[in-house]
Structure 1
Amino acid sequence: LKTSTSHEEGCERRWSLSTLRFVGMQQRVTHAELEEVKWERLNGSHEMKAVPGTIEQIDADLILLAMGFIHPVHEGLLAELDISLDSRKNIGIDLSMATNIDKVFAAGDAASGASLVVNAIASGRRAAIKIDEFLSSKEV
Structure 2
Amino acid sequence: MDGAGRPFPHTVLLAAEAVHAAAQQGPGAAEELDLALRSAFWTHSRSIAHRAVILDVAGEVSGLEVGALADALDSGRHRGDVMGDFAVARTDAIAGSPTFRLPDGTAAANPGMKVHWEGPFASGFPVVDADDPAVYQGLLRRAV
**TM-score (normalised: structure 2):** 0.27
Higher relative contact order (CA 8 A, sep 6+): 2
**TM-score (normalised: structure 1):** 0.28
**Larger strand proportion of the pair:** 1
Considering only CA atoms, is the larger Rg found in Structure 1 or Structure 2?
Answer: 1
**Larger helix proportion of the pair:** 2
